[in-house]
Structure 1
Amino acid sequence: MDLNTQEVHLSHYWNIIYKRWKVALSIVVVVMLGTYLASEFAKPLYRSVIEIQIERENPNQLTVDDLFGIAASDQEFLQTQYVLLKSRGLGEKVIDDQKLLSDPEFYPPGINGKTPAQIAQIRSQMAGAVVGPLDVTPVRSTSLVDVGYVSTSPRLAQKIAEGVGDSYIRLNNEKKFESVKQAGDFLDRQIKQIRDDIDDTRQKLQHYGETKGIISTADASSIPFQRLMKVNTDLQNATNLRLEKQNAYDALLRTNPESVTSGDPLVTQLTEEESRKTREYQQKLTTLLPGHPDMVTLRNSIEKTHQSRASAIAAAFQRAKDASLRDLEAARQSERQMYSAVDTQKQETLNINASAAGFTDLTNTLTSKQALLDQLEKRQNETEVTARLRGSASSNNIHIVDHAQLPTSRFNVTMKKNLQSAFPLGVVLGLAAIFFLEYMDR
């Protein structure tokens, strides 16, 4: 009985469809025709992509940020570059570099007869036409970024995408050059100030020696003074040693434990053992299933070896840190002892001749400022070298990996895909119309 009922229902539905099939066909035709016309008259869009590699700047090159110890993480650096690629400033630079205002496909009115002020205003207004259709897509886990531009003209899409890469590199070079220039100007001011201080200190030293009747430190023969000079030298050496140990310890903390412990015998042995077992596992995998007891045992052995290797790396790295920390503490203790020795010797010297102590202080001040001047002049020379390096293409940290290509196919949906989507939609709408009309007739 159920089968008869079902047959009645199906035949009933079929009769409804057969009676009004022309309605459904008309709707399908209308939908297909509308889709065809919409696709035919829609503007085609083309997309061209340029791939750029963005790396951190060479740390050996000096900028104002380097002088003050300002540094950003790699992620912050890359995120900043992505924002710069979409900035209006870069868009205006692309317009200038590529002469887009004279390109009829980009700006049909042209700029003939326009004043510089009008051109600047137009450039500012059209910057959005460059950065608006621009999409910046970082390639995951790399320093690569894809920059794409969408336009109704394939030639313009390629031109602007390529122009963004070129102008971005130029803008980066200009900013680096300006940064180096600022560092150079800062050093020039500091060097001038230190030189003025040195001249003033020399005059004070000469006046002090003349009024107190003190000979120069070069001719001084008193034993306390000679001892003071020696412990000052020892203190400087101790401070340098402490800084060296501190830098070594800080560098160790920032270093990957595996690179630090690569020479450890146990780590080397476990690394080779893990590699050997892994190769054996891969070889057996060609003949045995992963669930085979031998494969399970071998996989457990690999995991155990991996854990042992990780523990060995951690232990070796801890030993390296402990050794480096001991060296640092020893250097600190030596520096503290030298500070104490300097204070003691200074007091002894002051007790012998207070006037000579004052002369020595001025001499030490002069020596310190001279050392500071030498350091600043050295940095100034480094800055000049940096400027020359940054002026060469080999120093650039941004490279074009793949140039923008001329698009040969549309970026938006094609006629074929639109019609394929429209046909089932027309069928559904046609059937819905048939059953709606049947319902209304009741």
Structure 2
Amino acid sequence: MESNTHIIERSLIGQRPEAVDYEIDLLKLWRTVWHRKWSILSLVLVVTMVTILAVFAITPIYRAAATLIIEEKTAKVLSIEQVYGAEGAGSEYLQTQFELLKSRALAERVVRQLNLTTHSEFDPRQQPEPLIDFRGVLGHLDFNKVVPVTLPGDLEAGDGPTEAQIFDSVTRAFMDRISVEPQGRSQLVRVQVDMSDPHTAALAANAMANGFIESQLEARMEMSMTAANWMNSRLGELRTKLKDAEDRLQAFREAENLVDVKGVVTISAAELSSTSDRMIDARRQRAEAESQYRQVQAMRSSGWQRLASVPAVLGHPLIQQFKAEEARARAKVEELSRRYGARHPSMEAARSELSAASASLRGQVEQVVAGIERNYQLAVANEGSLQASFNANKSQIQNISRKEFKLRELQREVDANRAVYDTFMTRLKETTATSDLESANARVVDLAAVPTAPIAPKKTQIIAVAALIALGFGVVLTLLLDKLNNTVKNTEQLESRLNIPVLGILPLLKRKQRSQLARMFAADTDKCFSEAIRTIRTGVVLSGVDNPHRVIVVTSSAPGEGKSTVSANLAFALGQMERVLLIDADLRRPSLARSFEFPVGTPGLANLIAGTATLEDCIKQVDGIDMIGAGSVPPNPLELLSSPRFAKVFEALKGKYERIIIDSPPTQAVSDTVLLATFANSVIYVVKSAATAVPLVERGVGQLLQNNVPVNGFVLNQVDIKKAKRYGYSYGGYYDYYGYSNIKQV
């Protein structure tokens, strides 16, 4: 079986002119919020008052700030500043200084200087117990960034805190109240201290600034002393090394008998150069003598005449002289030979003279050749002697050079040790002389003044924020509750969700007796209500112009929605024009007899169906209309209504009346309504405004539509008109505006 909602959706397919447009109705949201304005304002007022009490119970916090300028400065203790890391390094250096300002050592220095361990704001032994723990009430909100003092260690045994524990807790609490803020991209920094005591806050801020400068000076002094101690120890080592180097140099000089190495080297070099020049000349002379000697040796075997033709021999002056004498003697012999014979005395004398000249020439040639040989031997010997002298001088120079190199090496070692020693000695004297003149890398620009206005709590802001949060929470809660409220609040909900018209609305009336409610139209004491009933009557009549709705069943989703009141008053309205019968078919919880004060035991519908009473006995006439009450409540109402006798009785009644109105049970209570609706031409569904849930109405209507019951319209009952207008709903089209002033609020 399909669900009722699916049946309603299926029955409405093709009937809606357009799809539902899901848009946010801002005006509707505003009216919803405006309706709950007093509740929202009450919430805001309560939250604001609680916040005011909490804020004024919080101790005000004052902030004192001292301004420092931190300058980058290189260390002057040594030339190797990296040993101590004292050289500035841009942003890293400044960031390091900022962290030093927040260090625990500096905080401990200020705590000792100002004796904060006995200050009432820090000493846990002087902390009073609050009468009202507003922090706990407000969920431990951190309004002023004050951290409560806690003591380390296990104190549950009842032992009091030690001095060390108190000092540690006070130091940590004081560190939590310190903040360091760089001023833009400059070298300025603000050291801020937050305390409830403004005078102590100013003292603490100034103590932080001065303590930082003093700690820097002390650190530099300590660094200078450390460097001086290190240099003293290092100086002793350097002095020992210098002494060892000097001793080795002197020992080498004494061992090698060195006085002036440079002079000896100079003399030896001059001798070597002179010997080299002479050796070159000797080699040249030996080469010339050797050349002449080779020529002579080559011609010796050919006779002395050939020797005389050797250039070295021929060029000798004596050889040339003897050659000339021989030539004259030969010329004389040749001249005389033409005049005289071979035995002529002149010829013999001439030949003797020629022989003597040749012999002289020969002897002279042999002497010259012997001289050439002797010259060659002398040249060779001279060259050998000079070469030996050159080699001796060179060896001596090389030996001297080796000694000079060793001497220079030892001298360099002595000079290097002396230079390092002198440098350390100079630095040590400078450090010792200027160690007490070191300047800090920071100075105070502005001392902290005693603050006059607290920085926390920001009472106005906190109260304003709390009020805004309460206002937002109230608005959101109102909209959420309105969204979660799925009851029927206006006619548009019924018509748009179920596509069934609303025949009319009935205003919320002043609390009245049941008998008064049932007779409201007949008594005409409320013009607006009467006009609303006439509107419903008009809708019923006009909806059945072609096929009049002679039998009308009035029902609702649940008891208490006013279906019996609608049935009775609609019957009175129709009774002014037609013959009308009002039947109370709610055999389980009848109300017609009580509303019109029928006598106890008056027979009704149950008696008529059971046959224990006649129709005339059951019909009662009230103000011009006939009524049949429920009668005696039967044990089986559904079986009684589904019996054939009820159908016969109903057919007989339809023949006597123009309009029959049946007050049936609620649809969600029993199934009697579905059975009664089978005899009806129209069903009027009563919905109580702002009380009946929309899903409940959908299930009830779906159950009727599932059984092909003609549901012709809704009646929205007990509508608070003034409240509805505040929500933006207008119902002027359903009743006479002129009677609106007579509406009474319940």
Q: Indicate the TM-score class for this superposition, using the shorter chain for normalisation.
A: 0.5 to 0.7
Structure 2 residue corresponding to 1:66, chosen from 81, 98, 112: 81
In the alignment, is the contact (CA less than 8 A) between 1:150 and 1:157 conserved in 2?
yes
How far apart, CA to CA, are the structure 2 residues paired with 1:131 and 1:106?
12
1:330-372 Cα shifts (integer Å, max 9, x gaps): xxxxxxxxxxxxxxxxx99764353344333222321221122
Partner Cα distance (2:455, 2:78) in 1: 43
Match of 1:148 among 186, 192, 205: 192
Q: SS in structure 1 opposite 2:451?
A: coil
Partner residue of 1:196? 240
Instruction: Pick from 389, 393, 404 the counterpart of residue 437 of structure 2.
Output: 389
Given that 1:149 and 1:160 are in contact with CA atoms closer than 8 Å, whether structure 2 keeps it comes out as yes
2:439 corresponds to 1:373: no
When normalised by structure 2's length, the TM-score is: 0.37
Deviations 1:115-147 (A, max 9, x none): xx9544543343222222211111122111111
Q: CA RMSD in A?
A: 3.5
* Residue 129 (structure 1) aligned to one of 173, 181, 190: 173
Greater relative contact order structure (CA < 8 Å, 6+ sep): 1
Contact 1:62 1:386 in 2 (8 A): no
Aligned counterpart for 1:45 among listed residues 44, 52, 61: 61
**2:33 pairs with 1:33:** no
| Alpha-carbon separation, structure 1, partners of 2:411 and 2:170 | 64
Out of 214, 218, 221, the position equivalent to 2:258 is: 214
Match of 2:684 in 1: none
**1:54 maps to amino acid:** I
1:292-312 residue CA offsets vs partner (Å, 9 max, x unmatched):
xxxxxxxxxxxxxxxxxxxxx
**Secondary structure of 2:245 counterpart:** helix
What residue in structure 2 maps to residue 89 of structure 1? 105
SS in 2 for 1:148: strand
Q: Which moved more, 1:101-110 or 1:367-376?
A: 101-110
8 Å Cα contact 2:47/2:466 also seen in 1? yes
Shift in Å at residue 398 of structure 1? 0.7
Whether the aligned pair in 2 keeps the contact of 1:350 and 1:356 (CA below 8 Å) is: no
Number of residue pairs aligned between Structure 1 and Structure 2: 301
Alignment match of 2:464 (pick from 397, 417, 420) = 420
For 2:266 and 2:183, how far apart are their aligned partners in 1?
68
Would you say the 8 A contact 1:50–1:161 is kept in 2? yes
Pick closer, same or farther for the CA change 1:120–1:25 going to 2, 3 Å: closer
* Higher Cα Rg, which structure: 2
* Structure 1 residue identity aligned to 2:243: D
Q: Is the 8 A contact 1:105 1:156 kept in 2?
A: no
Match 2:406 to one of 358, 362, 376: 358
1:14 CA drift (Å): 4.9
Give the deviation of 1:55 after TM superposition.
Answer: 0.7
Whole-angstrom distance in 1 between the partners of 2:118 and 2:105: 19
Structure with the higher helix share, 1 or 2: 1
Name the counterpart of 2:518: none
Cα pair distance change 1:64/1:127, threshold 3 Å: farther
Cα distance, 1:47–1:15 mapped onto 2, change above 3 Å:
closer
**Matching residue within 142, 153, 175 for 2:219:** 175
Name the % identity: 24
Contact 2:32 2:482 in 1 (8 A): no
Q: Which amino acid aligns with 1:354?
A: R
CA contact (8 A) 2:67 2:190 kept: yes
CA–CA distance in 1 between the matches of 2:100 and 2:396?
A: 62
Q: CA deviation at 1:211?
A: 2.2
Shift of 1:177: 0.8
Q: Which amino acid aligns with 1:80?
A: T
Indicate if the aligned counterparts of 1:136 and 1:145 stay in contact, CA closer than 8 A: yes
| Cα distance change of structure 1 residues 349 and 359 upon mapping to structure 2, 3 Å threshold | farther
Note closer, same or farther for the CA distance 1:350–1:57 as it changes in structure 2 (3 Å cut). farther
The aligned residue for residue 70 of structure 2 is 54
What stretches of structure 2 of length at least 5 have no aligned partner?
1-24, 127-160, 270-394, 486-689, 692-746
Compared CA separation, residues 39 and 78, structure 1 to 2 (3 A): same
177 and 425 in structure 1: CA distance in 2 versus 1, 3 angstrom threshold = same
> Quick one: structure 1 residues 63 and 132, their matched pair in 2 at CA, closer, same or farther if it must change by over 3 Å?
farther
Q: Give 1:406 deviation, angstroms.
A: 1.5
Distance in 1 separating the partners of 2:444 and 2:107: 18
CA offsets 1:212-257 (integer angstroms, 9 cap, x no match): 222378xx644559x9xxxxxxxxxxxxxxxxxxxxxxxxxxxxxx
Give the Cα–Cα distance (whole angstroms) in 2 for the partners of residues 120 and 16 of structure 1: 60
